[in-house]
Amino acid sequence: MNKDPKLVIILLGPPGVGKGTQAMKISKELKLPHISTGDILRANIKENTELGKKAKSIIEAGNLVSDDLINDMVFDRVKKQDCEKGYILDGYPRTTAQANTFLEEAKVNTKILVINFFAENETVVSRICGRLVCKGCSAVFHQEFNPPKADGVCDHCGGTLYQRPDDQKETVMNRLEVYKKNTQPLIELFTQKNLLKTINCEQSPQEVFNETLALIR
């Protein structure tokens, strides 16, 4: 008997556009795991694993970790049982090589939807530069646009909020360049494969969420 296809939702878009925030909300709503390659890498850095040691300086400079390391890390994660019905990818794929490898691996009984989150450069820079992230659950806040109820404390789990080292302005500019050069071409690639829908993220997080859900459903 044929199983229902797995639903894979890929969130594409520049750093700071709100992928992480939306991924968490969609994950809760659809009961699908949220897989953020950035979060997995940061956890490896914190635990000082071999992968973490290799990735630390690359991430802090705002560059990309090698395709092989990232692909292995993602395939290891998505073969876990909680991904059986599907999952949400946040921050992967980020290069044409990653996208092609993923499409090849995922082609059996899988429905892929790529959501391209779009916002102007100035918007993403201002969102990243005031961003605060929870050390415990990775929830995202913003000093000005979405402040936590208590200073420096996560509303959800009580964890400590911090500014990511790669969210400093100089690194952000490099990350945006890296996005333009390496990741933006995926918009064309996924459009040609008829997998991509775009959402304007100049709206409030709730409006973006409503549109995203409508698209998925």
Catalytic residue of the set 6, 42, 94, 127: 94
Q: Which amino acid is at 68?
A: D
| 13 binding ligand AMP? (CB under 6 A) | no
| 14 binding ligand AMP? (CB under 6 A) | no
Classify residue 82 by its DSSP letter: G
Question: Segment 145-174, which members bind ligand AMP (CB under 6 A)?
Answer: 166
Taking the complex as a whole, how short is the minimal distance between the CB of residue 191 and ligand AMP, in angstroms? 19
Task: Mention every residue, 6+ apart, whose C-beta is less than 8 A from residue 102.
Answer: 71, 74, 92, 93
d(CA 177, CA 183): 10
Q: Over the Cα atoms of the chain, what is R_g?
A: 17
Q: Which is nearer to ligand AMP, 125 or 166 (CB)?
A: 166
The binder of ligand AMP chosen from 32, 41, 78, 113 (CB under 6 A): 41
Closest CA relative to residue 115, chosen from 202, 187, 60, 168: 187
Q: Which is nearer to ligand AMP, 176 or 208 (CB)?
A: 176
Taking the complex as a whole, how short is the minimal distance between the CB of residue 29 and ligand AMP, in angstroms? 21
Task: Mention every residue, 6+ apart, whose C-beta is less than 8 A from residue 216.
Answer: 9, 26, 30, 113
| 186 binding ligand AMP? (CB under 6 A) | no
Q: Does the annotation mark 131 as catalytic? A: yes
The binder of ligand AMP chosen from 62, 78, 86, 101 (CB under 6 A): 62
| 15 binding ligand AMP? (CB under 6 A) | yes
Q: What are φ and ψ of residue 90, in 5° steps?
A: -120, 110
Active site residues: 19, 94, 131, 164, 175
Tell me which residues touch ligand AMP (CB under 6 A).
15, 37-38, 41, 58-59, 62-65, 70, 91-94, 98, 166, 175
